[in-house]
């Protein structure tokens, strides 16, 4: 039972354009959602979060949108930079974090 799904295993974007990473969830009990970024051979690092009572949270180039009725969230990165190339995990939290399988983003110069 995958409570958090990231259906796109990979995404390629040109530098300067927008990257949109999508995440769907099934557990309506999640209180908050987070995005983590992971480089090879490193642990995931926290990127941005959103409470379930909000529909948008912005931090610099990163914006997370939450659509509770659709049980969908997305991460927008604009403008994308080559250093953003990494695997991005979304996670839903209730009593513990449940992670998706990740989307590998490649930003080409």
Partner 1 sequence: GAGVSQSPSNKVTEKGKDVELRCDPISGHTALYWYRQSLGQGLEFLIYFQGNSAPDKSGLPSDRFSAERTGGSVSTLTIQRTQQEDSAVYLCASSPTQGLGETQYFGPGTRLLVL
Contact residues: partner 1, CB under 8 A:
4, 6, 31-32, 34, 36, 41-46, 49, 51, 89, 91, 93, 95-102
Which residue number, 79 or 93, has a Cβ lying nearer to partner 1? 93
Compute the least distance from the CB of residue 7 to partner 1, in Å. 12
Of residues 36 and 80, the one with the C-beta less far from partner 1: 36
Minimum Å gap between C-beta 98 and partner 1 is: 7
Within 10 A of 57 (CB to CB), how many other CB atoms are there?
A: 16
9, 104 Cβ separation under 8 angstroms: yes
**Residue 7, helix vs strand vs coil:** coil
Question: Least distance from C-beta 56 to partner 1, angstroms?
Answer: 16
Residue (65 or 94) nearer to partner 1, CB: 94
Closest CA to 21 of 107, 94, 83: 107
**Cα 21 to Cα 75: distance, rounded to the nearest angstrom:** 5
Tokens linked to 29: 């009990």
């Amino acid at each position: 039972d995958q409570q958090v799904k990231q259906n796109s295993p990979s995404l390629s974007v040109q530098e300067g354009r927008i990257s949109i990473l999508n995440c769907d969830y099934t557990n309506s009990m999640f209180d908050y959602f987070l995005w983590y970024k992971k480089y090879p051979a490193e642990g995931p690092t926290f990127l941005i979060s959103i409470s379930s009572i909000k529909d948008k949270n912005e931090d610099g180039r990163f914006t997370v949108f939450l659509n509770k009725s659709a049980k969908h969230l997305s991460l927008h990165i604009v403008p994308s930079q080559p250093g953003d190339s990494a695997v991005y995990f979304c996670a839903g939290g209730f009593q513990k974090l449940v992670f998706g399988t990740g989307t590998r983003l490649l930003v080409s110069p």
